[in-house]
């Protein structure tokens, strides 16, 4: 990953020096292990702060919303797809951006790694295909493939879909990934079992909205969770309120979610809320042949229609 | 389920078609069970998932959304957009464990009073079979 970091620094420094951009949005080392922080670099001499490794799971497209400046942005596959979505939704203009593409080899699952250690983790570093985890009283080497974030393990768009510069050669895409095994498992359950499954899944939710805030798609000036007259969603952690929140959060991402995994990564309770967004992703693909963020030319599925769209559920 | 339980159905009808059909059914003295509470909207495209969830939360046993046939929308294409929204919505609702027969969709034009009556009966009967709704209902603390 050092090669990536050097190249990111080099390109960012050049863009800032030449005045091509007013800022570069990237990652700097976080104050905690496995938590690289998004950062905005405005001076060429600060480009040295930028880093890249397997802890850059946050989606940087989130920081583009309604910005007016010229911006350089570091983009792995999923970020680039959310940038494309932002462009389609008029949240940023293509000509404001210099997209620094990062062919991605997957990010690591911070919840999983934390749960593997009994003591506090002091550092987590990349070493090729391995990850070295130092904890208070131990040091472990893990295979990166075994601790990938769940969405990265089944990702089929690791390479950026739009970019102006590239920090490395494109990587091979995963071909045999079964993207929807988990969704199919739930679909096969009875209504009773499904209800129970989501009761258990959502029980630890504390309604902190970290999942919403981490998501580049959530940019409405007034979020439905904050509406009070009428109050469509109760504000408490009553199980029904929580469920309604999760239903609507996922639904708002229909046809837009790129399965970047930022929501799940941000969740302090480690809830796998992607099973909701993935269901919608699967339906959009199966019913409308749509994958989010692959182009800036086509209208997203809920912003268009076909005369012969499926309607066998309508009497 | 008590013997005299009757399902409560909240219906969201488009002003230009199904609402008219319900009116025509009434004027024509067609009989049908009185389990529906109708909310009139300008278009099926106006129906937000929030409305349906709110109806369930407040204790509706079933929800019925009905608009104009494809091609007949008063606003040309509102129902086409609605169709996609409803498809994803219904799938997600079932995915989370709501019984498929709780929520119904139909296209009924203002001339189709007989279809209106038939669908109304079908909706009410299928919800009756399920019994009272327990999912997405928010139980409020009892006030003495
Ligand atoms: S819903 Fe989650 S996975 Fe989808 S785009 Fe938003 S943060 Fe990424
Ligand atoms: S981040 Fe997790 S705990 Fe917070 S609202 Fe989202 S799902 Fe709930």
pLDDT tens track for A106-141: 999 999 999 998 899 999 999 989 999 999 888 999
Say whether B92 and A193 touch across the interface (CB within 8 A): no
A259 lines ligand 1 (CB under 6 A): yes
Three-state secondary structure string covering chain A: CHHHHHHHHHHHHHHHHCCCCCEEEEEECCCCCCCCEEEEECCHHHHHHECCCCCCCCCHHHHCCCCCCCEEEEECHHHHHHHHHHHHCCCCCHHHEEEEECCCCCCECHHHHHHCCCCCEEEEEEECCEEEEEECCCEEEEEHHHCECHHHHCCCCCCCCCCCEECCCCCCCCCCCCCCHHHHHHHCCCHHHHHHHHHHHHCCCCCCCHHHHHCCCCCCCCCCCCCCCCCCCCCCCCHHHHHHHHHHHHHHCCCCCCCCCHHHHHCCCCCCCHHHHHHHHHHHHHHHCCCCCCCCCCCCHHHCCCCCCCCCCEC
By mean pLDDT, which of A227-241, A246-260, A272-286 is the weakest? A227-241
Nearest-angstrom CA–CA distance, A186 and A182: 7
The residues that bridge with B13 in the sheet, in sequence order, are B40, B66
Burial class (CB in 10 A: 0-12, 13-18, 19+), A187: middle
Segment holding B12, helix H or strand E = strand B9-14
Ligand in closest contact with the CA of A79: 1
pLDDT digit string (tens) for A167-221? 999 999 999 889 999 999 999 999 999 999 999 999 999 999 999 999 999 999 9
CATH fold, domain B9-130, is Rossmann fold (3.40.50)
Protein residues whose CB sits closer than 6 Å to any atom of ligand 2: A 205-211, 266-269, 271, 273
Predicted confidence at residue A1, as pLDDT, reads 61
Does the predicted model carry a pTM greater than 0.80?
Answer: yes
- Interface probe, candidates B96, B99, B103, B137, chain A, greatest A C-beta count within 10 A: B96
Minimal-distance CA residue of chain A relative to B89: A251
Q: Looking at CA atoms only, how far is residue B107 from chain A in angstroms?
A: 6
pLDDT digit string (tens) for A53-108? 999 999 999 999 999 999 999 999 999 999 999 999 999 999 999 999 999 999 99
Confirm or reject contact between A66 and chain B (CB < 8 A): no
Say whether B106 and A314 touch across the interface (CB within 8 A): yes
Q: How confident is the model at residue A295 (pLDDT cuts 50, 70, 90)?
A: very high
Ligand in closest contact with the CA of A217: 1
Asked, as a colleague might, if the bond just before B52 is cis with ω within 30 of 0, I would say: no
Residue A109 CA, ligand 2 centroid: distance in Å: 17
Q: Cα dihedral angle (A138, A139, A143, A144), rounded to 10 degrees?
A: 100
Interface of B with A in 99-138 (CB under 8 A): 99-100, 104-107, 119, 122, 135-138
Ligand 2 atom 1: the closest Cα is on which residue?
A267
pLDDT digit string (tens) for A254-293? 999 999 999 999 999 999 999 999 999 999 999 999 999 9
Predicted confidence at residue A237, as pLDDT, reads 87
Confirm or reject contact between B63 and chain A (CB < 8 A): no
A293 lines ligand 1 (CB under 6 A): no
Q: Which three-class secondary structure state does DSSP give residue B48?
A: coil
- Interface probe, candidates B76, B92, B95, chain A, greatest A C-beta count within 10 A: B95
Residue B73 CA, ligand 1 centroid: distance in Å: 34
Whether A72 contacts A24, CB under 8 Å: yes
Tally of residues, chain A: 315
A315 CB neighbours in chain B (<8 A) are: 104-107, 119, 122
CA-A292 nearest atom, ligand 1: 5
Q: How confident is the model at residue A2 (pLDDT cuts 50, 70, 90)?
A: low
Q: Which three-class secondary structure state does DSSP give residue B106?
A: strand
Predicted confidence at residue A137, as pLDDT, reads 86
**How many cross-chain Cβ pairs, A to B, lie less than 8 Å apart?**
110
Using the predicted structure, report yes or no on whether residue A302 has a pLDDT greater than 70.
yes
Ligand 1 atom 8: the closest Cα is on which residue?
A260
Q: Which residue ranges make up each domain of chain A?
A: 2-107+148-303, 108-147
Say whether A243 and B136 touch across the interface (CB within 8 A): yes
Predicted confidence at residue B141, as pLDDT, reads 63
């Amino acid at each position: 990953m050092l090669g990536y970091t050097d190249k990111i620094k080099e390109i960012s420094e050049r863009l800032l020096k030449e005045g091509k951009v007013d800022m570069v949005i990237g990652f700097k080392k976080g104050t905690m292990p496995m938590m690289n922080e998004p950062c905005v670099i405005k001076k060429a001499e600060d480009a040295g702060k930028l880093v890249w490794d397997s802890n850059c799971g946050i989606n940087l497209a989130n920081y583009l919303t309604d910005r007016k400046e010229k911006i350089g942005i570091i983009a792995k596959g999923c970020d680039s797809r959310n940038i494309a979505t932002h462009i389609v939704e008029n949240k940023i203009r293509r000509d404001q951006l210099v997209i620094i593409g990062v062919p991605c080899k997957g990010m690591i699952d911070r919840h999983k790694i934390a749960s593997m250690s009994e003591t506090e983790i002091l550092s987590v570093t990349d070493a090729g295909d391995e990850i070295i985890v130092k904890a208070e009283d131990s040091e472990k080497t893990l295979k990166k493939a075994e601790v990938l974030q769940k969405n990265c393990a089944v990702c089929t768009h690791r390479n950026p879909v739009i970019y102006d510069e590239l920090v490395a050669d494109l990587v091979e895409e995963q071909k045999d990934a079964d993207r929807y095994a988990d969704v199919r498992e739930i679909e096969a359950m009875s209504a009773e079992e499904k209800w129970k499954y989501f009761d258990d899944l959502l029980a630890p939710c504390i309604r902190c909205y970290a999942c919403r805030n981490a998501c580049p798609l959530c940019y409405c000036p007034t979020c439905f969770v904050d509406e009070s007259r009428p109050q469509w969603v109760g504000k408490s952690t009553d199980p029904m309120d929580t469920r309604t929140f999760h239903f609507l959060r996922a639904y708002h991402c229909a046809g837009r979610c790129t399965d970047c995994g930022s929501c799940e990564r941000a969740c302090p309770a480690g809830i796998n809320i992607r099973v909701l967004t993935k269901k919608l992703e699967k339906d959009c693909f199966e019913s409308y042949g749509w994958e989010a963020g692959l182009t800036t030319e086509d209208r997203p599925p809920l912003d268009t229609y076909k005369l012969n769209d499926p309607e066998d559920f309508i009497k | 389920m008590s013997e005299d339980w009757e399902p409560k159905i909240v219906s969201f009808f488009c002003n230009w078609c199904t609402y008219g059909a319900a009116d025509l059914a009434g004027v024509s003295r067609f009989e049908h069970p009185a389990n529906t509470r109708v909310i009139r909207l300008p278009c099926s495209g106006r129906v937000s998932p929030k409305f349906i969830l709110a109806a369930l939360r407040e204790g509706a046993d079933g929800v019925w959304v009905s608009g104009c046939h494809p091609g007949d929308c008063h606003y040309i294409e509102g129902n086409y957009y609605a169709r996609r929204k409803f498809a994803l919505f219904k799938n997600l609702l079932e995915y989370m464990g709501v019984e498929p027969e709780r929520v119904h969709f139909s296209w009924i034009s203002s001339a189709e009073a007989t279809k209106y009556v038939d669908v109304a009966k079908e909706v009410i009967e299928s919800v009756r079979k399920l019994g009272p709704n327990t999912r997405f209902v928010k139980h409020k603390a009892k006030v003495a």
